[in-house]
Amino acid sequence: MSDARRYFDDIQVGEEYESPGRTVTEADIVLFAGLSGDYNVLHTDAEFMKQSIFGERIAHGLLGLAMQAGLFTRATQAYATLAFVGLRWKFKGPIKIGDTIRLRAKVAAKKETSKPDRGLVTVERTVVNQRGEVVQEGETDLMVERRRA
């Protein structure tokens, strides 16, 4: 059986991917509050949020982050990832109920490491809504396997 995963050697700096869209629903936010235990009023109290600068409940920032991780798997073939090393992330604007988000990603850098069997891949990611507004953006560092010689 051939291995469909993409290795460090296969991935090129400058590659770009775009995911399908995903509409964020009230159910998504309720489930995420229940799963994470984050019941902050920003995400759960419709009446309180009418008075806020957002005017309504907004999705948890980390729900958007987790959803873009899911969208990444639908945007490109899987990497031969050994470890998720870290990320730097900014929340630029709210995701509201009914908004449709998608991920735009680009391979920003590749770096060899002290271990010959793996390399570090940095992916720039932008989460945009249906109006093309950037709601989240950042960079993730992934440790990816190299092809065996």
- Which residue, 52 or 126, has its beta carbon nearer to another protein? 52
- Reduced to 3 states (helix: H, G, I; strand: E, B; else coil), residue 5 is coil
CA neighbor of 12 nearest in space, from 136, 119, 125, 138: 119
HEC-encoded secondary structure of 42-89: HHHCHHHHHCCCCCCCECCHHHHHHHHHHHHHHHCCCECEEEEEEEEE
Report the nearest approach of another protein to the CB of residue 22 (Å): 8
- Which residue, 87 or 108, has its beta carbon nearer to another protein? 87
- Which residue, 67 or 149, has its beta carbon nearer to another protein? 67
Report the nearest approach of another protein to the CB of residue 26 (Å): 13
- The residue assigned the tokens 């982050």 is 65
Instruction: Tell me how crowded residue 137 is: count the other CB atoms within 10 A of its CB.
Output: 17
Report the nearest approach of another protein to the CB of residue 83 (Å): 7
Report the nearest approach of another protein to the CB of residue 145 (Å): 11
For 11, half-sphere exposure in the C-beta direction (CA atoms, 13 angstrom radius) is 34
Which residues here bind another protein, judged by CB under 8 A?
28, 31-32, 35-42, 52-53, 60-63, 65-67, 69-71, 73-74, 81-91, 138
- Which residue, 47 or 149, has its beta carbon nearer to another protein? 47
